Every structure is written in C-alpha cells, then in structure tokens.
Structure 1
C-alpha cells in the first residue's frame, strides 16, 4: 500500500493537471490565428505554386554594396610609353591570294567489286550432309579463316577448284560460286562476305598526324573519315593550308578554311586510288624572321618601361590598401549596427531563433533563411504549421498581416520554399507540435508539484 506522502503527491499531480487542462493559464504557446484580434487583422494564405507568384510580386530591390566593393586597385592610370621606335627593316611577306576551291565532280562508283588481295569468307551450315565434302568451307567457317583472292583474280576451294571472282560484286560472286558447287554436285548452301578489304585504298599524307592508307569498304568513304584515320590535320597556318586530291591525273583542291566553314565539303566522297595530301602554299620561314624582329622591338619597349612598371606597382599597392581599409570600415560599421541592413526574423520551433540578414544585390528565399537557422526543429516543430508573416506596406492597412502558410506534411511542398522570395521584416514562424505543448507545461509545473508534495509529506 502507498504511504501518505505518495498519496498526497499523486493527488496534487492530478489536481494540478486537471487545472492546467481546464483553464490553460499555466503555459502559453504562440500560434497563428486568422481573423481580427487586438487590432491585428490576420489573413492566412496557403502556399501553392500560384500563391508563391502572387507573394513574389511585392516590390523589393535588394540593397547594393557600396561602390568601394566594385572598384579594383588597377583601375585608373596606365603605363607611360617610350615614344616611337624605328620601323622594322624586314617587310611583312605578302601572303598569296585566297586559295581556289576546286572540287572533284560527283561520282557514284556503284557497288563494291572484289579485287586482288581481298579476303573472302565462305560460311556453310554446320549440319551433316553432302556439304561436308567442302572441308575448306567448313574450316573457313569454324576457324574464321577465309580465302585470299590471288593474282589471277580467283580463289582456290578444296574439291571445287579455282573460281574467278575478282571484278565481281558480292552478288555476282555468289552466283558464280553457286554454279560451280552445283556442277560439282555439292550442296550449294553457303554465304559469302568480305573479311578484309585490301584491293581498294586511299592514301593520306602531308600535314597530318599519322600518314596512312585507308581501305575502301562496302560503305562510302568520305574525306572527314579519311582525315580522322590519319589522326587529324596539323598545320602551322590553317588559313593558307589546303587539301590536295589527286584522282585520275587531275589535281583538285579544298582550302582548309572553307573545309571548316562548309560542312558539306567534309562529305566529299573518295574513290579507290585517290591520293590525299594536306599542304600549305605559304612559306612560314620569312614570317618567323619578321615575328622575331617584332619580339625584339617589344623587348626594347619592355626594358624602357621597367621603371614605369615599378611605379605602377607601387600605385596599385597604395590603392589596394585604401580599398581594403574602406571595406574593413564598412564591415565594422555593419558589425556595430551603424548601417541599415534588411533582416528576416525566425521564431518558434526553428533550429535557432535568430535574424537572417538579406543578402546584397540578390533576393533570398524561404529555404535560404530557414535552413541557415537549422531548419525545422525535428523533435518539437510542427511541419504542417510553417508560416511567413508579412505586414502590409500600405499605410492605410496598418495592422494587416498576411500569413503565408506552408504545410510540409507532404514533403513535396518543401519545393515551394526555394521559390518563395523573402522581404525585409518578414517573420518566419513554426508552431509547436501538440505533444510539445503538453511536455513543456508538465516540465514547468512538475518541480512545483514535487516541492509541494515534499512539504505536505513532511
């Protein structure tokens, strides 16, 4: 059984708890109440995508930093010159006239024709039967080894003999092979493909990274692909470089400057036997001498201006010190509260109740201020009761306040916070959770209950 002191304590707890719940006079907690009360007219507006646009329409221009923060120490005076220097003894070489564009005529070479040196691959079904007599065909399929077209234009197939296919398209070559297999009473089920293209090529040289020979395959070969295969173009002066194309004894020319400005030129189709040479008509040796002379003149100017540079460096250093001093003075005035600054105030269940200074030269959002103060207090804050309290700027509406309400129980609504622009003197308020109110009320009265109980028991 409980002794008398314990009974007294429980009785006091019950009595004071009922008193707290009935009258609500022991603990008060702030909240946002819509309507007119105490001379204040509060209108609650739920935050939505549309209402955010409405709230952001209110006029506001962020404060600008003083001009001292935009000036640099190097602005103002320049270097003193050294007067006129003698003219160069070497005249600039006159460059050649603009290079002429001479394109090869458009041509369609037709389907690829098998040539000497190409490697063809014959593939036959794996099923057993009379086709197994073609041991060479099976070997070609299984080991991926084909038949090289010999100098006489034919390939030699075991048990079939030599079949001439040079100069034929793949379809014509398949027809010729089909006829020979039928003549030798062999199942003519097979497929033919070219595994190596060695008979038709285009050579590339000159001012390229890697001169090479590019094979012409079943698909068209264009100029851009050939240049890429050679590692790209390397010239000292692209304005006067050109691509020379030799075809059937005729020289064609594409200036490099036009190649880059006209994308269609890169699609120039190349034919077997074409020779590409990247060349330049402009001799750079004399230009290098001229540039060397100009460098000498520049060095003379630099030597004469060395003292002027030193004076300028001293002047810049003094200016920088003056700017730093002015900026430090302004920061000190801010720290001491001597200069006006726009603030937003955070109250209620935020991480830290404080004031948030609106930035210079840009606008801040609800998210900026809220999370600068630590966000919503996770243990006590009610995420469904986040408000931005904004007083009316119209003097005729003194006491009118709009409470922009963010209900963040749906976490997706937090996406509105970075879009909601703050204004000077806004108040961000987060209400308590219901259980937080009770917990704080109990924490206030519990020590008094215990002290009274101790007194009664004694």
Structure 2
C-alpha cells in the first residue's frame, strides 16, 4: 500500500514537471511582441525604410590626420626662393663670321615647372527637373619638383610629359582616388621654357615657348624689332648650350633661311652693334649667372620645403599612430549596433567612421544568421524613439528578394538587430531541457 502511494506521488511530480515545462516555466524564448512595452512592429518596405533613414545621424568623422595630404606651400616656397634679379637690358656687342645654330625639332611641347594647367571637370548638378552639366575650371601651377597638387587626388608628376601624357597620368590618379575621371586638360600659361632677347632691340623681353615653333624673326618682333641705325658691324648672336652662334644683321635681313632659325628653350639672343665681343660676352655671362642663381635658389627652396614636408609627415604619422593606439585600447568614443537572437555572433557592431552602415553591413560582417535555427520571417531592427517608444522594423526574408531592403536601411547608434528562432528550434530546445529531467526521474523510479 505504501509503495503504491509513493509511485502515485512520483507520477504526480513528473506530471507537474511536464505541465510547468509546457507552460514555459522552464524554457523562456525571446521574441518581439507588438504593443508590449510600447513596441510598434512595422513591416520593412521601401517606404518604411525611407522613413527609418530620416532619423538624424551624423557618422563620427575620421581624424583630420587621415585625410590630409602633405603638399608644398607655394607661398612658403616663394618666400624661400625670393625675388630673382631681372635680365634687364645689356650693353651691345658685335658680329664676326657667320655661324648658324643647328636646326633642331624638340618634338611635342613638354610640361615644365611654372607652366599653368587648366583642369575642366563636368560635375552633374541636380536642378530639380533633372541633371544639368556645369563646367568647373581650375588652374594649377606646376611646382619646382614637376608636380601639381590637386585636392582629393594628391600630387601628380607631370614634368617632361606632353599634354596627352599628362592627361593620361591625371586619369589614372583620378581613378585611383575613386573620383569620376570626366575632365579635360589644357595649357593655360607657358612659363617653363623661355628665350631671352636683348641688346639693340626696342624692348628687351623674355619670350615663353609654346607648342608653336618660335623662329628668330618672331622673337625679334616680340622685342619690338632691331634698333640699330648702322648695319655695318651689327650682328645677331645666339648663345645655346655653351656654344656661341652669330649672323651678320645684313645677312639676316637678306636671307629668309636665317630669319627662320628655330629657337629653343634656354637660348639667349643678343643684337650687337659693334665688332668687339666684350659687351655680348657680358650679356651672356649675365644670363648664365641668372640661370645659376635661379637654380641655386630653387635648390635651397626645395631643401627648406622638403624639410618642412618631412616634419609635416612625421606629425601626421604621430597623430595617426596615437589615434590607432587609442582605438586599440577602446579609448575612442564610438557608436555601436547590438546583435541578439539567432545571429551567428551575438555582440556589437561598430558603426564606421565617415559613412552610414546598413543592416546588411552589421549583420553579414559578423557572420549573418543560421537558417537552421533563425526564423527568416522575423528579422527585426529595434530602435528607441522619443518617450521610450520602440519601433521594430520587421524584415521578412522568406522571400530572398526582400534582403535587398537590408542593404538600404541605415543603422543608428544603439539599434538592436534581433532574429527570432524557428518554431521547431523552440520545440527542440524545450525537449533538450525536458529529456534530462525524464531520464533523472525514470532512473529514480527504477531505483525504488
């Protein structure tokens, strides 16, 4: 009688365990309940995503040290170079025998320091009724090191390139910087290569070379023409690459071939009215001195400039390293999104610097979710609003096409991404908790 009573009590206890488990007293499954605690469930659609993205948020900016380029300061370089002396007017020398410089075709014009390039871009602007194309032109001066510094692109080497080659170089730089390479490039001003004309001319001048050939007669015309009254001993002397050439002025005027002597960058032309070379020698020596002075001044300026750039690079490198160390120690304020439920890696996703992150970024960068345990019909983005109200945008990914919405809804700080479990997963977990109890209870009954 006592044994029968004990069996009845054990059976009653086992029944109570099953009832408690069936009521959820043993296993509690998290879920999103509309209306409970001020939660509003909103199906995720293109329209609701648009409304969700209207929530104001400005991504944290990456430190300025990571967006700065170390570029020369033109004003600083100018101060370092200083003002070079002017060629001015020189005394007047004289001719001897006829010696003609070789006719050399330098080929296409190649860009050099002090040249000015004009960059024309075609950005698209929204006028409200459609896209309109509006040109934007900017000029850039080629620096002493042969580079141009373009914002958002960086420094590009263009020295000794033809215009077509420079355009191709800029195209590659634009593509590397992920900027729309829709632009045109042209020469705005020519300053890199010049021919100096002095002596018995109306107005001594420095003539810049362009892609068009510069002939002797045109250079003299640019200087106002020859101002020599007596042609008996007058001559035109040309100094090129350490060699002196000369043409009697009378022969120059009588011979079209002499008038079409092609001049090259760095040539010095002197109209001499005497026989002695002393005054011509003084003029050419002055040109050499000017060139050397300019070269030395530029070398000194570049040395100062390079030292300044090295210091800037070191400063930027230190700032970047310090920031990265702080980032590694979690000493930098960041914004987070939290992942819970049937995600592959519950935890937090750090919102990036300088841009928005989407649900797809936060979910799939952390491994996504398991299709075996997670319910694709119940993927939620929970966001707290004013007054403690919570909006839960529900993504039904049973139709895989709806996953596109996950790439469109932007995350906000403290959003919670939650994925509910499959119904079969819930039952499986209940069974996993019940079976050990059944085994323990059965073992106890068998022992008695």
Please report the TM-score for the alignment, with normalisation by the length of structure 2: 0.49
TM-score by length of 1: 0.48
Structure number with larger C-alpha Rg: 1
